[in-house]
Chains A and B, each alone.
Chain A
Amino acid sequence: MKKIMEGIGSMDGVLSCYLVDREGEIVEQIGSDKLDTSLAAAVIAAITKELSTQMGIEDKFSIIVMANEKNLFIVTQQNFILAVFTDSNVDTGKIRFELRGCVKAISEEL
């Protein structure tokens, strides 16, 4: 799993990458930042849960948060969430492209 995630982790501008279950527990992580990782995983799961509940979408959706310090890419699948923190000036399209491949590989692995 870690090897799959390292593909994204090695990209320019990627700070960290988290594989989280739908309950907010970290399954795997790469990269290091100043985040409280357990809290971050719980917050990410809470955001996806909010969207699922409010919009009635069970799985398979993405959220891209663009902020002035960092960007956050969240891809939600039926049984896991992949979250990637990047620099704010990162190439969004490139990250999304890599994320798609990574999500597919993780799904197969799981």
Chain B
Amino acid sequence: MNEKGLRPDINSLDVLISLADLYVENGLIDEAKDLLKTAIEENKEEIKPYSMLSKIYINQGEEKEAAEVLKSAMKINPEDKEINKLLKSLKLEKDVDTKEKKKKPRSELGDSLDEVLNNLLQVKGIIGVLIVDDIGALIEAKLELPLEKESTGAIISSIFDKIRFSSPDLKLGNINRVFFELPGGNIMVLGSKSLRFIVLTAKNILIGEVDNILTEAFHKTVELLGVE
């Protein structure tokens, strides 16, 4: 409430958090970050804006910034479970980045589907892989996000099919892959006659950097599943 106590103060923390949430939902990431920085400035002892800002940084792959925000939050409340959890996940990710990701040659994806998908998830920026058949039924999924696997796979597959079936009208020829750049992250779909290989990535991933390994993983999957 404001000084008069008659109406909500537009700068109140909850309003700022809700607005930042709305910005994120609508893909206005920079605006959300700015708002949360303001919220932190004005509510230095509140953990919530720190937590939300760090999550945005993590989703954007900006780990250094996320770590700084989390460290600041730790100074306020070292016992906060969520902040500790986020910091721990960040450290784990960093360890994987520096130890495993660099050591592992990208061509060695493994000899089983499980290995292929797990190794793909080791690539920085890749946060999920879904394999569905030609009617959108889930074959396999590895997700680092709390998404409903069956429906996510079916939805993405149906959009891919919509594009594929539109190809004759657009005279595109055979579609090799479709890349969706969405407010919350990116999706790449590679498709064969009977398989949809769906890869979810962070927003700031470089397509060129992961294209080869995704193609390799897709072909390996087709081979392992013995499908067309």
The chain A residues found within 8 Å of chain B, CB to CB, are 33-36, 39-40, 43-44, 46-47, 50-51, 54-55, 57-58, 60-72, 85, 88, 92-93
Contact = CB atoms under 8 A, between A and B. Distances in A.
Contacts of A57: 27, 182-183
Given A47-B166, A51-B180, 7 more contacts: A47-B159, A55-B182, A62-B181, A66-B179, A69-B171, A70-B173, A92-B207
10 contacts: A40-B169, A43-B166, A43-B170, A44-B170, A62-B181, A65-B172, A68-B176, A69-B172, A69-B173, A70-B172
Main DSSP-derived SS at the A contact region: mixed
B178 A39 contact: no
A66 B177 contact: yes
A47 B176 contact: no
Interface residues of B, number: 26
Contact of A63 (B171, B176, B178): B178
Contact of B178 (A34, A36, A55, A64): A64
B171 to A, nearest CB: 6
A55 B75 CA distance: 39
A85 B171 CA distance: 10
Contacts of A46: 162, 166
Interface in B184-217: 207-208
Contact of B172 (A39, A50, A67): A67
Given A63-B180, A63-B181, A54 B155 contact: yes
B176 A55 contact: no
Q: Give the one of A40, A63, A65, A71 with max B CB within 10 A.
A: A65
A93 B155 contact: no
Contacts of B170: 35, 40, 43-44, 70, 72, 85
